[in-house]
Amino acid sequence: MEEVYTQGVWIAEGLQQRTKSQEKFWLTVTHVGDPKAAFLLVFPFTYFISRRAGVAVLWVAAISEWLNLVLKWLLFGERPFWWIGKSGLFVNKQPNIRQFPSTCETGPGSPSGHAMVTAAVWWVVVSSLGSFLYSRTHSVVLSAAPYLVYVAMLVAVGISRVFILAHFPHQVVAGSITGLILGIVLSCRVPEGRPLLFFFSFSSVLLFGALMLHAGLKHLEIDLSWSIALAKKWCSREEWIRLDTAPFSSLTRDCGALLGLGLAQYWKPGGWSLPWAPRALSLAISSMGLYHVNRLPLPVRPQELFYALFFVRFVLVPLIVMVLVPGLVHLFTRKKKKD
């Protein structure tokens, strides 16, 4: 395995040296591929175009990120930015590479969460778009275009993760393949119209299932905090270590989003029926609302409080997008028509 890791480091060095002028592009791509973007960007954008596709995006994002967390706990994948120093193989010849603010994630590295969630979520988007284009044009070439963009996006996200030293190439490939399979399977089973009890139960199962796995591995004397210690030791800057990249942040995000999805469908079954102009307005307001909700600073001590508030934050995401903002837009546009 050392040889695979070593080759990955030299590939990362080559990328940084040869594409140095595209640094801002790669940093932008890695932000777009962040699992958080699936909840805060892709979900609202998709929802106001197609309700079913939007619900599918949130559903697939939560399940794929949760499964990614479980796989990371079981596979113990290294990350380049700490393995370079930890391995002791580069004492005589240090690779000419550097870290970035997005580099220092604290969870294990295999498989890549960015690649896995991006592959799963964007499969929902491109398959829906491809089907729509084919139903309107009956052109195989035109309906295949979204899939070509999909492949290009996965390649770009993968390169960006290797470029910033967050992942080795094989971790990105594994994440992309796993995400693609999950996207295909989960997009066929969208829980639209399910009762609140289903979402409450499912969210609870994911939460307590992960906690039980964590407790079981800890009982076997497997230290699941090993990656956090290495990230803190080998990260170039202390401020680049963020609690929202920790494994339990992913867990609370996924469970919170699923519970919020259930609450949104319970309070407003079927959603709001809005024309295109009010939908566009709802999208703009929802995006601004989610931006400010995400920017609200959360106390990092005690950590239990941070995770609880992080959970609440993502419970609010579906409620803002599916109930609060469309409801207000519907109310005000309806009043305007009456006048």
pLDDT in tens, 51-68: 999 999 999 999 999 999
String of DSSP letters for 79-132? -HHHHHHHH---SSS-------TTT---S--SS-HHHHHHHHHHHHHHHHHHHH
pLDDT value of position 339: 44
79 annotated to bind ligand: yes
Tokens at 255, concatenated: 């469970």
Sign of CA dihedral 78, 81, 82, 87: positive
Judge whether 114 counts as a catalytic residue: yes
What is the rounded average pLDDT for all residues in the chain? 93
pLDDT value of position 72: 95
Regions of the chain where pLDDT drops below 70 = 335-339
Distance, CA of 306 to chain centre: 19
The predicted model scores a pTM of 0.93
Q: Single out the catalytic residue among 31, 114, 138, 214.
A: 114
Q: Single out the catalytic residue among 167, 170, 214, 219.
A: 167
Judge whether 330 counts as a catalytic residue: no
Which residues have a Cβ under 8 Å from the Cβ of 54 and sit 6 or more positions away?
A: 43, 44, 46, 47, 48, 321, 322
The residue extents of the domains of the chain are 2-338
**CA 105/CA 301 separation, integer angstroms:** 19
Contact present, 63 and 182 (Cβ < 8 Å): yes
Contact present, 134 and 123 (Cβ < 8 Å): no
